[in-house]
Amino acid sequence: MLICMRQRAIGMAVDTVGSYGREAIHGIMEFCHRNPHWVIAVEPRTWVYAPSQEPEDWNVDGLIVQAYSQDVVDRVRSLGLPAINISNTRHCKRQLPTIVPDDQAIGRMAAEYLLTLGVHHYGFCGLSLAEYSVLRGAAFIQRMAEAGVFVSECDNAEPRLDGWLAALPKPAAVFCCNDFWAHRTLSAARRGGFQVPDQIAVLGVDDDELLNTIGALPMSSIAIPATKIGYEAARMLEAALNGQPPPRHTTLPPLCVVPRATTDVANVDDPEVAAALRHIKANVARPIQVDDVLEHLAVSRRSLERRFRASLGRSIALEIRRAHIERAKQLLSNTTLSVGEVAQASGFTSVTLLGVVFRRYVGESPTTFRERSRCGTPLKSVKAELLTR
């Protein structure tokens, strides 16, 4: 017997300008394709912050929104309809069920990555008016403090970016709360005559591939599972429409750092270590070993190991392994290569070795890591509090 599900009319108030909103919409539409009874009755507007958003006039069964203020939350709540929020722009006392990136994990990932660059000065460029920025910045600064590093902060709610960047000791690495502010930081660096990445290395968040690769200097960024967030928001809304209360707050971890030219630097004082890092980076797709690096530099292992630990706090072998793992993470997140092909293209001699090493250092299998960025995998709700590794 054929069972016909009642059609669901869904409204979306989601930003189509930023990459986060666009990718989230891809996830929502993936859910629609898998569930034909879902119909997007109110399409997303060009700019979610425009005052023309009037959900009170929408004849829909449920909503997915980027709630950027308490006023928007209250207006949506007043409708009495199931609604899911995918924004962490403002801290609201009265909230909607929410699914967002794990902003604290993003901050920690940024710190872990920038610490590998070997620079001595660090900055955070954020926006104190945005909750996601506050969380990312706090986690970044805390992780840096654990490593004994001071972080200079710039609040872009004030027009002081140029002066702050000029006063920042060089060379420095700057973590920005998102790609928008990262690009503004790059513009300020150009205005100030600072070389990127040699004097200022810049890392953003969102990995807007179009925006980050069209310029003369492609920008490094942290990829977040926006498509997955959109899909899961739709799945949560469907459950709510069926009478199942959704979790109040769900977060998804970031995927990986996508390194590009703005962090392509080995700022270490030791020229031998810098040369070794360049050799490792240039050969990251090959199964290189410590002996390959030593042969390239014609230096003793004991001497280079000592200098590596003095400059970076880790061994040559660990740096090679770290580079191979980061390469594998990028390929798993951004290509459709099989896991075996990823192993071959990231310097692992077999798919088995990739699996063993990946699980040891990342905490999950390559397949599980890849699936975290795809739609349809059940997720667990987690508390929005700083988690320790």
What pLDDT, in 10s, does the model give residues 229-242? 999 999 999 999 99
Share of the chain above pLDDT 90, in %: 56
The rounded Cα 186 to chain-centroid distance in angstroms is 18
- 34 — pLDDT class (breaks 50, 70, 90): very high
- 375 — pLDDT class (breaks 50, 70, 90): low
Reading the block at residue 5, the tokens are 């599900």
d(CA 89, CA 130): 5
d(CA 226, CA 234): 13
CATH code that applies to domain 103-224+257-263: 3.40.50.2300
What's residue 210's pLDDT? Answer: 78
d(CA 220, CA 209): 10
- Region of 170 (left: φ > 0; alpha: ψ -120 to 50; beta: rest) is beta
**Domain residue limits, the chain:** 10-100+226-252, 103-224+257-263, 271-371
H/E segment holding residue 175: strand 172-176
Length of the chain: 389
Using CB atoms within 10 Å of the CB of residue 281, give its burial: 0 to 12 exposed, 13 to 18 middle, 19+ buried: middle
Beta bridge partners of 153: 124
CATH code that applies to domain 271-371: 1.10.10.60
- 43 — pLDDT class (breaks 50, 70, 90): low
Number of neighbours of residue 93 by Cβ within 10 angstroms: 7
pLDDT at 261 over 70: yes
- 214 — pLDDT class (breaks 50, 70, 90): confident
92 vs 211 pLDDT, higher one: 211
What pLDDT, in 10s, does the model give residues 317-356? 999 998 899 889 878 877 888 999 999 999 999 999 999 9
Which of these, 24, 48, 34, 29, lies nearest to 101 by C-alpha position? 24
Which of these, 366, 317, 377, lies nearest to 341 by C-alpha position? 366
- 176 — pLDDT class (breaks 50, 70, 90): very high
- Region of 139 (left: φ > 0; alpha: ψ -120 to 50; beta: rest) is alpha
Q: Which CATH superfamily is domain 10-100+226-252 in?
A: Response regulator (3.40.50.2300)
Beta bridge partners of 203: 175, 220
Angle value at C-alpha 387, between 132 and 249, nearest 5 degrees: 55
Residue type, 315: S
Contacting residues for 341 by C-beta, under 8 A, at least 6 apart = none
What pLDDT, in 10s, does the model give residues 126-175? 999 899 999 999 999 999 999 999 999 999 877 789 999 999 999 999 99
Ranges of H-type helices in 41-178: 70-78, 103-115, 131-146, 161-167
Share of the chain above pLDDT 70, in %: 89
- 69 — pLDDT class (breaks 50, 70, 90): confident
DSSP 54: -
Cβ(304)–Cβ(297) under 8 Å? Answer: yes
pLDDT at 203 over 90: yes
299 vs 30 pLDDT, higher one: 30
Reading the block at residue 244, the tokens are 């199942």
Beta bridge partners of 151: 122
Same topology, domains 10-100+226-252 and 103-224+257-263? Answer is yes
